[in-house]
Structure formats: C-alpha cells, structure tokens
Amino acid sequence: MGAMDRVVRFFFILMIAALYFVGIFSDTMAIVFGVIALYLLLTSFVGTCPIYLPFGWNTVEKPVESGRNRRRRRR
C-alpha cells in the first residue's frame, strides 16, 4: 500500500470520527461507519487491502531504476 493511499484512508477515518462526534451519525449508521473506519485503520496498519487483490491493483510506487541497473536493449 502506497503512502498516498494511507493518507487518504487516514483522512476518511478522521472525517468519519468528526461526523460521529458532531452527531451526524447515530444508531445503526454510526455502527456501519465505525466498522468502515476500523477496516480502513486496520488495512492502513497492515499495509495491504484484500479488496485490491481480485482486481490486481497495487498502490505501491515502483522504484525508479538507475542507469546501472537497467537492462540494455538489443539492437
């Protein structure tokens, strides 16, 4: 999981918490969004998201290869 993905997840966790404490979410809605926030928090700490696997998505940035490690093209 990439750094930007973790930042976005953390932002959504903060939004859900703020809406809960302001009183926008209550009863069943609070439980549903609480579970979503816990899922986002858990996947941020673990560093992988099970939903990404079937789609083959990967948000980890690939390292830039230096000129020395790059394979030469055959002419």
Distance separating alpha carbons of residues 26 and 23, to the nearest angstrom = 7
Other residues' Cβ atoms within 10 Å of the Cβ of residue 7? 11
Query: How many domains does the chain divide into?
Result: 1
Tell whether 64 is covered by a domain. no
Task: Please check the confidence at residue 18 and state whether its pLDDT lies above 80.
Answer: yes
Tell whether 8 is covered by a domain. yes
Tell whether 33 is covered by a domain. yes
Query: Rounded to the nearest 10 degrees, what angle do helices 3-22 and 27-46 cross at?
Result: 160
How confident is residue 72, by pLDDT bands cut at 50, 70 and 90?
Answer: low
**29 in helix, strand or coil?**
helix
Of the listed ranges 8-12, 24-28, 47-51, 64-68, the least confidently predicted one is 64-68
Tell whether 12 is covered by a domain. yes
Token couple for 72? 């030469």
Q: Which domain holds residue 38?
A: 3-54
What's the length of the chain?
75
Tell whether 50 is covered by a domain. yes
Side-chain-side CA neighbours of 47 within 13 Å: the count stands at 3
Tell whether 22 is covered by a domain. yes
